[in-house]
Amino acid sequence: MTVTNTQRSVAYVGNGATTSFPFAFLIPEAASLHVELVEIATGIVTTVDPGDFTVTGLGNSSGGSVEYPLSGPALATTHRIIIYREIPVTQEVVVTNQTAYYADVAMGVWDRHIMIMQELRDDSNRSVKVPVGSVGTPAELTQQLSLDITNVSQNIADINTVADGMANIGTVVTNIADVNTVAANMAAITSASGSVVNMSAAAFTGDGTTVIFPLPAVTNAVENVLVWLDGVHINPTEDYTATTAAVTLAVAPANGVEVRILVISTVGMADVRAARDAAIAAAAAAEATVAGIVPADILYGADNLDGLGNVSTALTNLGVSAFVQTILNDANAAGVFNTLGISAFIQTLLNDPDAATARTTLGVAPALGFTPVQQGGGISQGINKIYIGWDTGGNGLRLTVDSSNQGFIARSNSAHSVMGEIAAQTGAATGTYILAYYYFAGGSKELDTLVAGSALRIASVENYGTSALPGTWRLMGRLAAAGKALFLRVA
C-alpha cells in the first residue's frame, strides 16, 4: 500500500459521554499503537494499559477507532485522550539472495520507513534546537528562555502599567511638539514653587439603595466636589454632603442611573516632582528588564519552533541535509520515490493494491488458487511425471506414469471397483468372487443358479460397468429381479 497521510496522532477532550475515539491514519500493528490520558489542569500524562481499551482498524490505511473505557464512566471534560503511532525502529524482514519474494513485502518495509520518518519529523518540529555552528546547546537555550521569562514575570507590574497607559502614550505622541516644549522648560517647571490644580473623576451606577460613594481624591470642602446624575448636575449641601473620603447623597439614585463625581484639588510642586521621579524610576526599571532579554536567543528559539513558518531553518539548524529536507517536504510517497530516484516501473509495482495486480505488472503467471501436491521426491519414489484424468469414454478415472498407461483407478462408486479391478488383473480365474450386475427378465433367481458371464457386468456399490465377464458363474444369493449380487466363477 502507499502512505499518503502525514498524520500520526489525534487528541480528543472528554465530554462525559463519548467512549469511541476514531483515528484516520495507518497504525500497522498493536505494538505501534499508544494511548495516553492528559489531566488538563496539571498536564500530568498517564499511559493507558492495552488491557483497558480495544482497537479496530489496525493495518487499515483509513484508520479505525479506540474504545475507552471498557467499563465505568466515560472520559470526563477534565481529561484529554491522545492516540498516536510510534513504529518500533527495527527491520525484521530477511530476503535471501536469488530468491523470489512478493512486492508487498518490500513495500511494507518502505511504508514502515516512511512512517518512522514522519514520526521523526513530528518529534523534530516539537523540539527546541540551536543553529548550526552555535556554541550553545538546546538545554542552554531553554535555560536562557526560562530566565528571560522569569525576568519578565518579575516585572509584570511595570509592564501592565505601561499597557494600561497606552492611551496616554498615544496622546503624548500626538502632542509631541508640546511635550518637547515642556521638556525644554522642565528646569523652570521643576524649580517653581506653589501648587497646581488637579481634577480626579469617578463613575458609579445607582442600585436604588446606595447613597454613599467613595471620592476619587481627598478633599476638605464640599464645594470642591461636583456630582452629576445621568448628566444632570445636582447641588452641594442640598442634594449631597461630602467628607474627606466620601460623598453622601440625600436620595439613593434609581437602579441604572449613572453617578459621576469630580473632585477639584491642588497639588504642590513638591508632589509633582516626586511623581516625576517615581515615573522616571519605573521607566528605568522597565528599560533594564527589556535590556536583560537577549533578542538573538529568542529569535533562535523562534526559528526552531514548529508553527512559526520557518521549518526549513529549524531543519538546517539540526544539520539535516538539503536532500533529506526535500524528502521530508515531499507531499506524498510518490514525491519521496521521485526524490530517491526510484523508477516509474518500481513505483507502479509498489502502488499495486494486491499480489495479483503485482503479478500482472511483472508479467508472471497468476497465482494457482489452490495448494499444489508435490510430485515425487518422497521415500522410495522416483521423479516420474504422473497424470491423473477422466477417461475419454467416460468410464472412470485413469492413471498414466510418464507415457505408460496404468489403467483405471479403482473407486467405490465406479464400475471400476476394487473387486472388479482385482478380477480384471487376475483374468477372473475360476474360484474368483466378484460383485456383478445380473441382466435377466422374468421370475427370480435362486441360490446356486449358474449364469453365463455374458449376462454379468462388473459392479460397485453405487454403479456397474458395460463390459461382460468371461466364463460361467454361480449366484451366491437370491435375486427377485435383475440387480447386483455376489458371484463365484466355476468354469
**Is the predicted pLDDT of residue 333 greater than 80, yes or no?**
no
**Is the predicted pLDDT of residue 290 greater than 70, yes or no?**
no
CA distances from 81 to 55, 60, 156 (A): 14, 21, 35
Residue 13 three-state SS: strand
Residues 74-105 as b/e (b if ≥16 CB within 10 A, e otherwise) read ebeeebbbbbbbbbeeeeeeeeeeeeeeebbe
Contacts with 327 (C-beta within 8 Å, 6 or more apart), sequence order: 117, 336, 339, 340
Most confident of 117-126, 331-340, 403-412: 117-126
What's the rounded mean pLDDT across residues 381-395? 87
**Is the predicted pLDDT of residue 302 greater than 80, yes or no?**
no
Share of the chain above pLDDT 70, in %: 83
**Is the predicted pLDDT of residue 420 greater than 50, yes or no?**
yes
pLDDT of residue 49: 96
Cell of 28: 500497522
Mean pLDDT of the chain: 82
The 10s digit of each residue's pLDDT in 439-477 is 888 789 999 999 999 999 888 777 887 778 899 999 999
Across 42-56, 133-147, 234-248, 361-375, least confident range: 361-375
pLDDT of residue 345: 80
What is the distance between the terminal CA atoms of the chain, rounded to a whole angstrom? 76
**Is the predicted pLDDT of residue 251 greater than 70, yes or no?**
yes
The 10s digit of each residue's pLDDT in 48-61 is 999 999 999 999 98
Contacts with 62 (C-beta within 8 Å, 6 or more apart), sequence order: 24
Across 97-111, 275-289, 316-330, least confident range: 275-289
8 Å CB contact between 193 and 269? yes
pLDDT of residue 33: 96
CA distances from 26 to 60, 157, 340, 351, 477 (A): 6, 50, 23, 16, 75
Q: How many CA atoms lie within 13 Å of 203's alpha carbon, on the beta-carbon side? A: 5
Contacts with 225 (C-beta within 8 Å, 6 or more apart), sequence order: 215, 219, 236, 240, 242, 247, 261, 262, 263, 264
**Is the predicted pLDDT of residue 490 greater than 90, yes or no?**
yes
Across 142-151, 258-267, 281-290, 320-329, least confident range: 281-290
Residue that is written with C-alpha cell 514522519 in the block: 118
Residues in the chain: 491
Across 79-88, 232-241, 269-278, 401-410, least confident range: 269-278
8 Å CB contact between 468 and 424? no
Q: Domain ranges in the chain? A: 9-85, 101-127+304-367, 199-267, 383-491
Q: How confident is the model at residue 292 (pLDDT cuts 50, 70, 90)?
A: low
Q: How confident is the model at residue 384 (pLDDT cuts 50, 70, 90)?
A: confident
For 9: left if phi > 0, alpha if psi spans -120 to 50, otherwise beta; the answer is: beta
Most confident of 298-312, 397-411, 412-426: 397-411
Cell of 234: 445636582
- Sheet of 258-268, strands arranged across: 195-205, 258-268, 225-229, 232-234
Comparison of pLDDT for 424 and 428, the residue scoring more: 428
Please choose, from the candidates 31, 34, 85, the residue with its C-alpha nearest in 3D space to the C-alpha of residue 61: 85
The 10s digit of each residue's pLDDT in 351-379 is 888 877 877 887 766 766 777 777 777 88
Most confident of 84-98, 275-289, 302-316, 323-337: 84-98
- Sheet of 45-47, strands arranged across: 9-13, 79-85, 33-39, 45-47
**Is the predicted pLDDT of residue 298 greater than 60, yes or no?**
no
Q: Report the C-alpha gap between 434 and 487 in whole angstroms.
A: 5
Strand 45-47, strand 33-39: pairing: antiparallel
Cell of 299: 529569535
DSSP 253-279: PPTT-EEEEEEEEEEEHHHHHHHHHHH
